[in-house]
């Protein structure tokens, strides 16, 4: 870096380039987009959980002034429109294929959850579309709802030809070895753990503006998607049968996703389809209640856990039998989430020689469930880290020391787990030690005693998590049933004046790519941040991409950028060699200059850029004009961020209110590009984890009504539900990507729920409470205390 300049490169907490437009109200989100003559869509949704549709009458609704069209499942079928797809197929334990029922974009014969799309009303104002929607007369013949996950297999059949409402019955690991460990164990820890159902609740509701261009026979769809290219592929190839070249998808500023905006939804497909039929732009924006009803939900597992310990308190086996609620239809990645993103994480940070898991993916008459922040990994971590605490308590060992005893030692990497993954690198004890020190673990008992004097039960809880990020490599994903490749692409375009545009296939919906990715360019090419533009979210500007989820943007997308930069430098060297009349091999690139090694002959990066576009005298047999390079990067492995989070809570036993009083964590995300952005991601993840552990729950009643379908009923974490957080990190650099980065987006949401529940249980142990299901609401905590006390008195 030239002297006197501010460091804008890797490792600098540069303030974000994107902030100004958001802070001044100039962000451009999908609902901000309006087109002349646009029509508005409103969806008539099923008010019942499970029913056959006897008839749909639309004549009264169609007569409302301003209504342009009403479409039903019959219209969809008549037009030969395909259904929404399942993006991942697994094989059943017995070797048979899993069940993949159709998922029409408008229900035709049957509805399978409250909120299922039954008809689409299009009118010249939203008000008219909504009031016409009220007049659509649907006669339902109700069938028994299937709501309770535990008994879902024994209830009414949701999809024809599907046995026991089971989409799949999948396994991973060595059952015989695990059973042998369990039978030879000195002690077996047995528990049942429930992972509660959540609604992702990105603050920006989903929206779509679809425009059909009659002259070009092409479409533009603005959408709140996390991955425009994948959306284009699915909507074109599987649903509407449009050539991909005729479809442009633009995801402008997107107000959070957390997984819920990965998938193609019925509404986007319907608006696109209708825009051609009506030859007008069609706009749809969800209100929050629709979002609750029809965004893909998250989590919702019941797990039976058995952990085998030898006489030295080492874990020798783990068996987990899981029921995963996937709802009324299979959402795009709903199969991957509870299987390969879940079962493979059951080894946690621990050296466990035998693991076996069986997962049954169940159909219920509830909204589809899919990936939500962490996707499978939070659910796995909850199992491992809650069981670690239960085990530590049963053997009377300090939970931190019990974890330390069972950690994979730092000299054991690369470490092959019993559940398919190979961790490339990690060092878990230092992050544990650091987190213990940050929260003053040693001083806890005196804080507990002090709290007791104030009438509060204080508890502390740990969670040492690991996650697998940057889902990859494509070959492995394909072999395991994934129907996509999980590489990423980048184009680095150097303009004649030396400014740079980077076209990335990832998508930023709050993660700060405009800044972080520009820092990579700054570091490598020496170009100031202001001269670097990051372009994302537009299928017509970006060659291809797989979008953003699973903390893949930096590890996969950032590495693709780095590889394209390598190519820019390599070409720059050839141009410099030509200009300086030197040998290609003698050119070095350093501090933004191409230098003939060992001499003072050099060309600046800007001179090379200009020369590339003013190629006088270029030897065209070996040197093309221009300076633009593309890289597609398919990673060799997942990345494995890990760390320890510790929560400290105080419980008021008279009200059951849990207050989070302190939080400390130390994570290992490999190298950090922008520490400020990384810490922000951790804070946000913890916020969502605290929500899951203490407040949030998607609750269906027995009839299948979603009782928590608004912010009045679904308890979102607010500023006073969270503490200030102490967040630190240590680094073991990822061994298989150029940047040595791992990913940080989901860590907080993965680590925090078990840490919190462990803390709540730790606080209440003196009262005899040994477990509490999420969310640990005041009512539930209060009841648990009452029950424990009644039991103690008996």
Partner 1 sequence: MPTVAMKVNGASVSHDIPDNTLLVSFLRETMGLTGTHVGCDTSQCGACIVHVNGDSIKSCSILAAQLDGADVTTIEGIANGDELHPMQQAFHENHGLQCGFCTPGMVMSAIELVEKSKNLSEREIREGLEGNICRCTGYHNIVKSVQDAATKMGG
**Residue from 7, 21, 183, 190 binding partner 1 (CB under 8 A):** 21
DSSP state letters, 332-383: TTTTTTTTTTTGGGTTTTB--S-EEEEEEEE--SS--B---TTTTHHHHHHH
Indicate the residue whose CB is closest to ligand FES: 203
Token reading at 318: 């783990």
**Residue from 154, 287, 445, 450 binding partner 1 (CB under 8 A):** 287
Q: Does 255 contact partner 1 by CB under 8 A?
A: yes
| Site string (498-527) toward ligand FES, x via CB under 6 A | ------------x-----------------
CA distances from 592 to 232, 518, 629 (A): 38, 15, 18
Distance in angstroms (rounded) separating the CA atoms of residues 271 and 282: 6
Q: Does 509 contact partner 1 by CB under 8 A?
A: yes
Q: How far is the CB of 68 from partner 1 (least distance, A)?
A: 19
* SS3 of residue 660 by DSSP: strand
Name the segment binding partner 1 (CB under 8 A); options: 20-28, 377-385, 519-527, 607-615: 20-28
| Site string (651-690) toward partner 1, x via CB under 8 A | -------------------------xx-xxxxxxxxxx-x
Measured from the CB atom, the residue of 129 and 577 that comes closer to partner 1 is 129
Measured from the CB atom, the residue of 256 and 537 that comes closer to ligand FES is 256
By a kind-dependent CB cut-off of 5 to 8 A, residue 475 interacts, out of partner 1, ligand FES, none, with: none
| Site string (162-201) toward ligand FES, x via CB under 6 A | ----------------------------------------
Distance in angstroms (rounded) separating the CA atoms of residues 551 and 563: 19
Q: How far is the CB of 259 from partner 1 (least distance, A)?
A: 12
By a kind-dependent CB cut-off of 5 to 8 A, residue 712 interacts, out of ligand FES, partner 1, none, with: partner 1
- HEC states along 298-343? EEEEEEEEEEEECCCCCEEEEEEEEEEECCCCCCCCCCCCCCCCCH
Evaluate whether 283 touches 124 at the Cβ level (below 8 Å). no
* SS3 of residue 754 by DSSP: helix
Q: Does 725 contact partner 1 by CB under 8 A?
A: yes
**Interstrand relation of 247-250 and 218-223 (parallel, antiparallel or unpaired):** parallel
Q: Does 748 contact partner 1 by CB under 8 A?
A: yes
| Site string (455-494) toward partner 1, x via CB under 8 A | ----------------------------------------
Within 10 angstroms of residue 734's Cβ, the number of other Cβ atoms is: 28
Distance in angstroms (rounded) separating the CA atoms of residues 113 and 300: 16
**Residue from 73, 510, 704, 754 binding partner 1 (CB under 8 A):** 510
Question: Which residues touch 325 (CB under 8 Å, ≥6 apart)?
Answer: 149, 152, 197, 300, 301, 362, 364, 366, 369
**Residue from 116, 253, 424, 629 binding partner 1 (CB under 8 A):** 253
Measured from the CB atom, the residue of 16 and 35 that comes closer to ligand FES is 16
Question: Which residues touch 479 (CB under 8 Å, ≥6 apart)?
Answer: none
Q: Does 37 contact partner 1 by CB under 8 A?
A: no
**Interstrand relation of 628-633 and 602-604 (parallel, antiparallel or unpaired):** unpaired
Residues binding partner 1: number (CB under 8 A): 59
Nearest to 674 by CA among 17, 7, 1, 10: 10
By a kind-dependent CB cut-off of 5 to 8 A, residue 27 interacts, out of partner 1, ligand FES, none, with: partner 1
Measured from the CB atom, the residue of 106 and 286 that comes closer to ligand FES is 286
Q: Does 203 contact ligand FES by CB under 6 A?
A: yes
Distance in angstroms (rounded) separating the CA atoms of residues 199 and 698: 6
Residues written for the chain: 794
DSSP state letters, 556-590: IIIHHHHHHHHHHHHHHHHHHHHHTT--GGGEEEE
Question: Which residues touch 581 (CB under 8 Å, ≥6 apart)?
Answer: none
Name the segment binding partner 1 (CB under 8 A); options: 10-18, 80-88, 306-314, 482-490: 10-18
Q: Does 22 contact partner 1 by CB under 8 A?
A: yes
Evaluate whether 341 touches 147 at the Cβ level (below 8 Å). no
3-state class percentages of the chain: helix first, strand second, coil last, to nearest 5? 30, 25, 45
Q: Does 694 contact partner 1 by CB under 8 A?
A: no
Q: How far is the CB of 584 from partner 1 (least distance, A)?
A: 43
Q: Does 335 contact partner 1 by CB under 8 A?
A: no
**Residue from 104, 256, 670, 740 binding ligand FES (CB under 6 A):** 256
By a kind-dependent CB cut-off of 5 to 8 A, residue 277 interacts, out of ligand FES, partner 1, none, with: none
Distance in angstroms (rounded) separating the CA atoms of residues 492 and 506: 14
Measured from the CB atom, the residue of 22 and 238 that comes closer to partner 1 is 22
DSSP state letters, 201-237: --SSPPEEEEEEETTTTEEEEEE--S-HHHHHHHIII
Measured from the CB atom, the residue of 256 and 656 that comes closer to ligand FES is 256
Q: Does 27 contact partner 1 by CB under 8 A?
A: yes
Measured from the CB atom, the residue of 200 and 255 that comes closer to ligand FES is 255
Q: How far is the CB of 691 from partner 1 (least distance, A)?
A: 9
Evaluate whether 559 touches 548 at the Cβ level (below 8 Å). no
Name the segment binding partner 1 (CB under 8 A); options: 94-102, 283-291, 385-393, 624-632: 283-291
Q: Does 15 contact partner 1 by CB under 8 A?
A: yes
| Site string (375-414) toward partner 1, x via CB under 8 A | ----------------------------------------
Name the segment binding partner 1 (CB under 8 A); options: 147-155, 199-207, 237-245, 353-361: 199-207
Q: How far is the CB of 556 from ligand FES (least distance, A)?
A: 23
* SS3 of residue 782 by DSSP: helix
Phi, psi of 184 (to 5 degrees): -95, 0
By a kind-dependent CB cut-off of 5 to 8 A, residue 312 interacts, out of partner 1, ligand FES, none, with: none
By a kind-dependent CB cut-off of 5 to 8 A, residue 725 interacts, out of partner 1, ligand FES, none, with: partner 1
Distance in angstroms (rounded) separating the CA atoms of residues 285 and 41: 8
Q: Does 26 contact partner 1 by CB under 8 A?
A: yes
Token reading at 506: 């990832």
The footprint of partner 1 (CB under 8 A) covers 15-16, 18-29, 31-32, 34, 201-205, 253-256, 258, 287-289, 509-512, 676-677, 679-688, 690, 710-712, 716-720, 722, 724-725, 748
The footprint of ligand FES (CB under 6 A) covers 203, 255-256, 510
């Amino acid at each position: 870096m030239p002297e006197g300049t501010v460091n804008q490169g890797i490792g600098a907490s540069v303030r974000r380039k994107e902030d100004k437009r958001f802070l001044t109200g100039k962000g451009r989100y999908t609902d901000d987009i309006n087109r002349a003559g646009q029509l508005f869509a409103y969806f008539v949704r099923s008010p019942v959980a499970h029913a056959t549709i006897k008839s749909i009458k639309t004549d009264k609704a169609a007569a409302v002034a301003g209504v342009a069209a009403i479409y039903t499942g019959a219209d969809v079928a008549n037009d030969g429109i395909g259904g929404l797809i399942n993006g991942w197929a697994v094989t059943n334990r017995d070797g048979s294929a899993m069940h993949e029922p159709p998922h029409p974009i408008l229900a035709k014969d049957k509805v399978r959850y409250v909120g299922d799309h039954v008809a689409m009303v299009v009118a010249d104002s939203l008000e008219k579309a909504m009031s016409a929607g009220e007049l659509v007369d649907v006669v339902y013949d109700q069938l028994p709802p299937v709501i309770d996950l535990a008994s879902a297999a024994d209830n009414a059949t949701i999809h024809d030809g599907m046995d026991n409402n089971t989409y799949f019955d999948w396994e991973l690991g060595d059952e015989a070895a695990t059973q042998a460990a369990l039978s030879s164990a000195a002690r077996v820890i047995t528990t049942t753990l429930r992972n509660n159902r959540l609604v992702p609740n990105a603050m920006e509701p989903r929206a779509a503006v679809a425009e059909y261009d009659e002259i070009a026979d092409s479409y533009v769809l603005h959408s709140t998607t996390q991955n425009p290219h994948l959306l284009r592929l699915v909507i074109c190839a599987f649903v509407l049968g449009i050539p991909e070249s005729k479809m442009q998808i633009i995801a402008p500023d997107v107000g959070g996703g957390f997984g819920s905006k990965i998938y193609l939804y019925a509404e986007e497909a319907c608006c696109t389809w209708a825009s051609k039929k009506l030859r007008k732009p069609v706009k749809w924006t969800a209100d929050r209640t629709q979002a609750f009803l029809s965004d893909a939900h998250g989590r919702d597992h019941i797990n039976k856990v058995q952990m085998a310990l030898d006489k030295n308190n080492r874990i020798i086996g783990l068996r987990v039998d899981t029921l995963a609620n996937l709802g009324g239809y299979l959402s795009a990645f709903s199969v991957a989430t509870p299987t390969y993103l879940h079962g493979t994480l059951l080894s946690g940070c621990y050296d466990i020689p035998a693991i076996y898991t069986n997962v049954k993916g169940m159909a219920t008459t509830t909204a589809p469930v899919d990936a939500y922040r962490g996707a499978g990994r939070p659910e796995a971590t909850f199992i491992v880290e809650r069981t670690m605490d239960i085990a530590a308590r049963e053997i009377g060992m300090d939970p931190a020391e019990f974890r330390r005893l069972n950690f994979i030692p730092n000299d054991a990497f690369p470490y092959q787990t019993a559940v398919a993954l190979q961790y490339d690198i990690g060092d878990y004890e230092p992050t544990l030690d650091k987190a213990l020190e940050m929260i003053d673990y040693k001083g806890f008992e005196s804080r507990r005693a002090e709290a007791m004097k104030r009438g509060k039960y204080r508890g502390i809880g740990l969670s040492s998590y690991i996650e697998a990020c940057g889902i990859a490599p494509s070959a492995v994903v394909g072999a395991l049933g994934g129907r996509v490749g999980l590489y990423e692409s980048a184009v680095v375009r150097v303009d004649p004046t030396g400014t740079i545009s980077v076209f990335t296939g990832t998508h930023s919906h709050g993660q700060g790519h405009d800044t972080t990715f520009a820092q990579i360019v700054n570091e490598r090419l020496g170009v100031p941040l202001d001269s670097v533009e990051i372009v994302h979210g537009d299928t017509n500007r970006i060659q291809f991409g797989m979008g953003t989820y699973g903390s893949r943007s930096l590890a996969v997308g950032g590495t693709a950028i780095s590889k394209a930069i390598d190519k820019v430098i390599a070409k720059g060297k050839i141009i410099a060699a030509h200009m300086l009349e030197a040998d290609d091999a003698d050119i070095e690139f350093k501090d933004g200059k191409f230098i003939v090694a060992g001499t003072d002959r050099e060309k600046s990066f800007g001179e090379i850029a200009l020369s590339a576009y003013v190629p006088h005298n270029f030897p065209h047999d070996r040197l093309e004009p221009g300076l633009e390079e593309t890289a597609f990067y398919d990673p060799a492995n997942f990345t494995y961020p890990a760390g320890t989070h510790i929560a400290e809570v105080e419980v008021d036993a008279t009200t059951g209110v849990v207050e989070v009083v302190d939080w400390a964590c130390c994570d290992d995300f490999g190298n950090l590009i922008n520490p400020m952005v990384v810490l922000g991601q951790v804070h946000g993840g913890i916020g969502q984890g605290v929500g899951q552990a203490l407040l949030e729950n998607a609750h269906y009643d027995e009839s299948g009504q979603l009782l928590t379908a608004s912010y009045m009923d679904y308890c979102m974490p607010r500023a006073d539900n969270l503490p200030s957080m102490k967040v630190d990190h240590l680094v073991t650099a990822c061994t298989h990507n150029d940047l040595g980065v791992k990913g940080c987006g989901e860590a907080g949401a993965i680590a925090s729920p078990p840490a919190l529940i462990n803390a709540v249980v730790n606080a209440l142990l003196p009262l005899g409470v040994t477990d509490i299901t999420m969310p640990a609401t005041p009512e539930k905590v209060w009841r648990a205390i009452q029950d424990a006390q009644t039991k103690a008195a008996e």
